A and B are shown apart, each in its own frame.
Chain A
Amino acid sequence: MAYKGHRINPTRFEKSQIKIIVILLPLVIFMALPIIFIINHAFKPMEELFAFPPTFFVRNATLENFESLIKASRTSGIPLSRYVFNSLIVTLVTIFLSLLMTTCAAFALSKIRFKAKNTLMNINQTAIMFVATAVLIPRYLVISKTGMIDSYLAHILPLVAMPVALFLVKQFVDQVPDSLMEAAYMDGATDWQVYLKIIIPMIKPAIATASILVFQQVWTNMETSNYFVNDDSMKTLTFYMNTLANANNTVAGQGMAAAASLIMFIPNLVLFIILQKNVMNTMAHSGIK
């Protein structure tokens, strides 16, 4: 994969790269500012949150904001642990279901010959451009008519089919050589066995990428909690964190909201850093031809 050319992806540091870094650095710092700020803000004690003029960096870091976050949830009637539990269940089940469905569909679209294949593939490619918020109302109607309101299903099912994820995984399955599968079929393997024993192990990078995409969708999703679930005890952590961020417009609320945002952001970042190589590997096959 790594290309050892003399211009693109250089292996050694050369003087000519310095000017690129000098141009990029201010922009990169500018892009990083809001995230650096949230990290600092989350650890500021009360007097620094109130400070005038306002400060950017934290001086005496404390965990006060995180403590008051937990305290606030005690008075709200629904313990924080409930929201954490909801979010974990919803996130894990969505990722599992979505990956299972997506890899199965990708296998079919890439390697199995059947009549409707090309049509289905084109439909999915068009759906990459699907803007979910545009059809919020009909989605709500579907969910209420099928009786899913106020259940975990209302959080999970609307998010399991993700056309971009299917597209990327399918592109990756295309890279699995047919000869490998032919050999297995010769030995009498069924389609299911080939899917499980050959395809899945070969497309791990794509699976990692798809799981990140789905994770990002689910973990920070507010739509399902806002519109499809009325019962507060069934809503997710993101929703709760966001009510804190918005209800308390006081300075104390700000500190809590920053702590909450940080808690929501960290899992995303960690997951991406861990799986970063897999993602780049998958993106190499991301082109639409």
Chain B
Amino acid sequence: MAETKGKKNKISKRSNNKNGYLFIAPYGLAFTVFILVPVLLAVALSFTNFNAIEFPSWVGFLNYITVLTNDEVFMQHVLPNTVVYALIVGVGGYVLSFVLAWALCNLTRGFRTVFALILYSPSMTAGVAMTVVWKVIFSGDQTGLLNSWLMSLGVLNEPVIWLINAKYLLPIVIVIGLWSSMGIGFLSLIAGILNTDESLYEAGAIDGIKNRFQEMIYIVIPSMKPQMLFAAVMAIVNAFQAGTIFTLLTGNPSPGYASQLIVNHIEDYGFLRYEMGYAAAVSVVLLLIVQLFSKVADRLFGERDDF
């Protein structure tokens, strides 16, 4: 940076420009009221018994103890479902989006743009707007598309009631999750791969890299760690905040809790049973799990350790 020596040179002279606070104030205010305060409030409420009408009463760690030891639905259905969902849609979706991004970057611009648009477009709808599609495809009688196809192929003899049969709920929810998982992280990966330094490939070729796969492992991934981390964080958030669309499809609670995820469990306790203190404790558990996963991602791809 060229250090110019002017009298009013605010950038280099002033080390504590109070205007900084002014510029950040509007965002900071909105952030505080609608993100920070709700999180702190959730933490506070998680130590109480609160039914939304009476004033919350302090119960200490009771809610957390209940989550860990006494909530059979949570331990037997919600947590395992969420872990499976997060592994397949989060981790699997992440790997898939990297492989797809990398494949797209090996194509010419025209193909790449069209393919990327198609892959990205499901994530725009955030799922909710597409409920009707899934309802028609997975409809439980012969008019359902999937039933009709499978029956005409001879795979099925009679229609399967997809959205009620506990056996199929989680797989269906995972397919829908994967379908909409090529989001902004995917775009970030494409941009990252496109921006890797050309000379690295040449140097790699001299050092004995023989094929595209080796190139991916030894050159592409190490040179775009920041994008890998950003995409990982996006994948984690995406995997753990899913749930709303599944409520619309299968109801809450889902039949036999077969596709109940943590977010649905929070909804169930908070807005159906009005046990808001307990719901808050589950929210805090969710936020902690997300943080934990992000730390893992940071270990894998982080370049500094303060994130």
A interface with B by C-beta (< 8 Å): 1-13, 17, 20-21, 23-24, 27-28, 31-32, 34-35, 37-38, 41, 52-54, 56, 100-102, 104-105, 107-109, 111-117, 120, 122-139, 141-142, 146, 157-158, 160-161, 163-164, 166, 177-179, 181-183, 185-186, 188, 191, 195, 213, 216, 220, 222-223, 227, 238, 241-242, 245-246, 251, 254, 257-258, 260-261, 264-265, 268-269, 272-273, 276, 279-281, 283-284, 286-289
Contact = CB atoms under 8 A, between A and B. Distances in A.
Contacts of A163: 31, 35
Contact of B280 (A124, A138, A288): A138
B203 interface: no
A181 B184 contact: no
Interface in B228-275: 228-230, 233-234, 236-237, 240-241, 243-244, 248, 263, 266-267, 270-271
Contact of A245 (B2, B34, B41, B131): B131
Contacts of A24: 100, 103-104, 115
B55 interface: no
A16 B187 CA distance: 24
Given A129-B237, A134-B286, A139-B38, A284 B100 contact: no
Interface string B127-144: 011111111110000111
Contact of A133 (B26, B227, B266): B266
A58 B17 CA distance: 63
Given A108-B23, A137-B280, A288-B233, A54 B144 contact: yes
A4 B195 CA distance: 10
Given A17-B108, A105-B27, A222-B128, A52 B118 contact: no
Interface of B: 1-2, 4, 6, 8-12, 14-24, 26-28, 30-31, 33-39, 41-42, 45, 100, 103-109, 111-113, 115, 117-122, 124-126, 128-137, 142-145, 148, 152, 179, 182, 184, 187-188, 190-196, 198, 201, 212, 215, 220, 224-230, 233-234, 236-237, 240-241, 243-244, 248, 263, 266-267, 270-271, 276, 279-280, 283, 286-287, 290-291, 294, 302-304, 306-307
Nearest to A37: B133
Contact of B143 (A52, A191, A195, A261): A52
B287 to A, nearest CB: 6
Nearest to A166: B27
A191 B19 contact: yes
Chain B residues touching A, majority SS: helix
A284 B148 CA distance: 45
Given A131-B241, A245-B132, A265-B124, A142 B11 contact: no
B35 A185 contact: no
Given A135-B38, A245-B132, A286-B226, 18 more contacts: A8-B193, A8-B220, A20-B103, A20-B106, A116-B20, A127-B35, A130-B237, A134-B263, A135-B283, A137-B270, A164-B234, A220-B125, A222-B128, A238-B128, A242-B129, A254-B135, A279-B187, A283-B184
Contacts of A138: 37-39, 41-42, 45, 280
A258 B30 CA distance: 36
B128 A220 contact: yes
A286 to B, nearest CB: 4
8 contacts: A37-B136, A114-B21, A127-B35, A134-B286, A135-B41, A142-B37, A157-B30, A260-B132
Contacts of B126: 216, 220
B173 to A, nearest CB: 14
Contacts of B294: 129
A178 B3 CA distance: 9
Contacts of B248: 242, 246
Contact of B106 (A7, A135, A281): A7
A25 B59 CA distance: 57
Contacts, number: 356
B303 A289 contact: yes
Contacts of A133: 241, 243-244, 263, 266-267
A137 B107 contact: no
Nearest to B1: A178
Contacts of B1: 177-179
Contacts of B109: 2, 9, 11
Contacts of B42: 134-135, 137-138
A161 B31 contact: yes
A137 B279 contact: yes
Contacts of A260: 132
Contacts of B192: 283-284, 286-287
Nearest to A251: B143
A142 B28 contact: no
B225 A283 contact: no
Contact of B122 (A35, A166, A246): A35
8 nearest interchain CB pairs?
Answer: A287-B226, A114-B20, A138-B41, A108-B23, A105-B27, A283-B191, A138-B38, A161-B30
Contacts of A35: 121-122
Contacts of A13: 108
A41 B131 contact: no
